[in-house]
Structure 1
Amino acid sequence: MGDDIFCINRRKFIGNSLVAASGITVVSTGMLAAGTASAQTPAAAASAGCGPVKLPAVIGYPNNNGVLVERVTYPARNMGTTIVANVFKPAGFDEGKKYPAIVVTHPFSGVKEQTAGLYAQHLAERGFITLAYDASYQGESGGEPRLMEVPAQRLDDISCAIDYLSQQPEVDPARIGSLGVCAGGGYAMCNAQTELRVKAVATVSMFNLGDARRRAMGQLSYEDRMKRLRDAGEQRSNEARGGPVRLVPVVPESPAEFTANTPDLYRQGYEYYVTPRAKHPNSPNRYVFSSLPLQMAFFPYDQIETISPRPILMIVGREGRYKILER
């Protein structure tokens, strides 16, 4: 891979979640391997509306368990744009009841129809109302230029999802949890440090995006880091002058790009995001290169003590063996 490919993606995890808090039950759900993706035409967020969900709601996992899936939109408050999300409601949903709810945050470069939707579906099957959304600048949600990865906005996207859920009469605002997958786990953990409406937070294969961008999993020297920052700054200046936006790959485009030094993390990212297993037209395996400095400035653990005494569940896996760390 070239210098421009800075992969962050989810570890291969056939495992399980999530969340415990005051009245929120810890559950364990088996992830199923995703199958062939169906083509889906991206819609402009400005014209997106509430109503029936665009199918498939989850790539490769048919909804055969009576879960109700609804497409919704709500404001990205700080941007003046629109977030597009899928809300999953349990089978036998009762409008007169109050349900615990979970916001599910997708990985870097992912969309709601991939792993975030899969977790949302499984958790809804177990009695939660869940919400899987496209991050700002990505998927069907608003924001320009497309495919930006802006950690500060990613954090507020979670709060915007809580804004939406807290207005729904069927949601118990005292039982809202947050789940993030891969880089989404870093965002969920960081957001919970100051977002006290989150009553419990859980992560699956959490990835520290800031550290990954600064050190490239220990493979990036300080001098190379500074060069990348200079290059990104020059590219941003070029875009400000009207030049084209530069997009770079997130994970390898094919096994031909693998080398002996390619980490399993990169290989597994290709297997999930670039093959029919979970490939989606709204997730083109690209991000805006000039957003790299914003990613390097992300330090997700600086106030982690402020989550206490709320529960944390971190699910990690390596070579098929999984260890649950609770705090």
Structure 2
Amino acid sequence: MEKMETINKEKIFFKNQTLKLAGELYFPLDFDNNQKFAAIIISHPGNGVKEQVAGLYAKKLAENGFISLAFDASHQGESEGLPRYLDDPAKRVEDIRCAVDFLVTLPYIDENKIGAMGICAGAGYAINTAQTEYRIQAVAGISTWDVGDSQRNGFARKWTKQQRNEILQEVALQRTREARGEKPLFVGYVPDSEADFDDDTPIIQREAYEYYCTSRAAHPNSHNKYLYTGNDRFIAWEAFNLLDTLSPRPLLLIVGSLADTIYFSENAYEKANEPKELYIVEGASHVDLYDQEIYVEQVTEKLTDFFRAYL
């Protein structure tokens, strides 16, 4: 590939076992395939696809000198996988490992300078992967969400054990229905319309509806649904159970001061050993960090400093 004058991106595909995953590789302005570059793998939120916030940060990091990879998770977006819309934490983690496998085959990637990051649930998956994937040298999370915690305990940890057990019982019943021929049950990540809001709807759900379901950031491959029977996998999964073993590799957590999800980042920070940093973006909410220019520029600057220091 010849040296380019503007940011360029290339459609790529890589495998997770038998599944073909679709991604976009972003190149820095000074790209030269005779040189070696640091690379960043970027994981999208649960309701996202590579063309949304993951792609935005991939572009921003490429502008600052990194090769960046944003991709669609297994069963989602343009990537293969049946059943569709399955959100499986184990698969999401393996996707990231396979993204590393892909990058180390490229002659212009420095295999000793690979980082990972994610947004929302993608941050939880990226951090979890880095715990045991030693080819990832540095990891960052933006508006981190731990899907295991939220499905075991409810948002803001308001559920009782009985409520959790009721979900597992309903998952069991639904699996039986589908085994006997009924159609799969899908549920939304966020409300389908403002009419679905009530007094108990968290700020994150209201903001996420606006991001995913309006002209702000809606994309035809982002369908606001996941397979209900995957809830048992969420409940069984722990994002940060080995986070103390990440050190001496560094962790950066970026979260808005107004985010009602800040407790996920605080929990991860508490469990991690040095080097670690919890970076608070004053005045920002959870979803503000997805696309609001004033905050995106601040987050990009912090990410760039972090990855330059550790890769």
TM bin, normalised by shorter chain, reads: 0.7 to 0.9
1:206-233: CA deviation from partner (whole Å, max 9, x where unpaired): 0011010111122322111111111111
Residue 11 of structure 2 aligns with which residue?
Answer: 71
Residue 19 of structure 2 aligns with which residue?
Answer: 81
How much does 1:240 deviate?
A: 2.1
The secondary structure found in structure 2 opposite 1:87 is strand
2:281 matched to 1:322?
yes
2:143 matched to 1:205?
yes
2:102 matched to 1:143?
no
Structure scoring higher RCO (CA < 8 A, sep ≥ 6) equals 1
Residue 313 of structure 1 aligns with which residue?
Answer: 252
Aligned partners of 1:109 and 1:145: how far apart in 2? 16
Q: Contact 1:149–1:287 at 8 Å: present in 2 too?
A: yes
Matched residue type, 1:158: I
Q: Contact 1:88–1:120 at 8 Å: present in 2 too?
A: yes
The secondary structure found in structure 2 opposite 1:114 is helix
Matches within 5 A, 1:52-71: 66-71=6-11
2:246 matched to 1:287?
no
2:163 matched to 1:163?
no
Aligned partners of 1:149 and 1:271: how far apart in 2? 21
Residue 265 of structure 1 aligns with which residue?
Answer: 204
Aligned partners of 2:152 and 2:53: how far apart in 1? 26
Residue 48 of structure 1 aligns with which residue?
Answer: none
Aligned partners of 1:82 and 1:178: how far apart in 2? 20
1:80-118: CA deviation from partner (whole Å, max 9, x where unpaired): 110000000012321111000000000012100011111
Matches within 5 A, 1:8-157: 66-77=6-17, 80-157=18-95
Aligned partners of 1:124 and 1:194: how far apart in 2? 26
Q: Contact 1:71–1:84 at 8 Å: present in 2 too?
A: yes
Residue 16 of structure 1 aligns with which residue?
Answer: none
Matched residue type, 1:104: I
1:107-130: CA deviation from partner (whole Å, max 9, x where unpaired): 012100011111101000111000
Q: Contact 1:109–1:138 at 8 Å: present in 2 too?
A: no
Matches within 5 A, 1:174-213: 174-213=112-151
1:264-309: CA deviation from partner (whole Å, max 9, x where unpaired): 1111111111111111111110000010000111101111111100
1:36-82: CA deviation from partner (whole Å, max 9, x where unpaired): xxxxxxxxxxxxxxxxxxxxxxxxxxxxx8111100111112xx110
Matched residue type, 2:13: T
How many percent identity over aligned positions?
Answer: 42
Matched residue type, 1:181: I
2:174 matched to 1:215?
no
Aligned partners of 1:242 and 1:258: how far apart in 2? 33
Q: Contact 2:139–2:250 at 8 Å: present in 1 too?
A: yes
After the TM superposition, which of the residue ranges 312-321 and 297-306 deviates more from structure 2? 312-321
Q: Contact 1:84–1:134 at 8 Å: present in 2 too?
A: yes
After the TM superposition, which of the residue ranges 184-193 and 250-259 deviates more from structure 2? 250-259
Residue 23 of structure 1 aligns with which residue?
Answer: none
Cα RMSD (Å) of the superposition? 1.8
Residue 263 of structure 2 aligns with which residue?
Answer: none
Matched residue type, 1:145: P
How much does 1:241 deviate?
A: 2.4
After the TM superposition, which of the residue ranges 136-145 and 256-265 deviates more from structure 2? 256-265
How much does 1:242 deviate?
A: 2.4
Residue 17 of structure 1 aligns with which residue?
Answer: none
The secondary structure found in structure 2 opposite 1:175 is strand
The secondary structure found in structure 1 opposite 2:168 is helix
Q: Contact 2:30–2:65 at 8 Å: present in 1 too?
A: no
Matched residue type, 2:25: V
Judging by fraction of residues, say which structure has more helix: 2
Matched residue type, 1:96: N
Matched residue type, 2:233: L
Matched residue type, 1:219: K
Residue 216 of structure 2 aligns with which residue?
Answer: 277
Shift >6 Å, 4+ stretches: none
Q: Contact 1:165–1:171 at 8 Å: present in 2 too?
A: yes
Q: Contact 1:155–1:190 at 8 Å: present in 2 too?
A: yes
1:169-196: CA deviation from partner (whole Å, max 9, x where unpaired): 0100000000110011110111001000
Matched residue type, 1:230: Q
Matched residue type, 2:9: V
Runs of at least 5 residues in structure 1 that lack an aligned partner in the other structure: 1-64
2:163 matched to 1:224?
yes
Runs of at least 5 residues in structure 2 that lack an aligned partner in the other structure: 260-279, 283-301, 307-311
Q: Contact 1:137–1:143 at 8 Å: present in 2 too?
A: yes
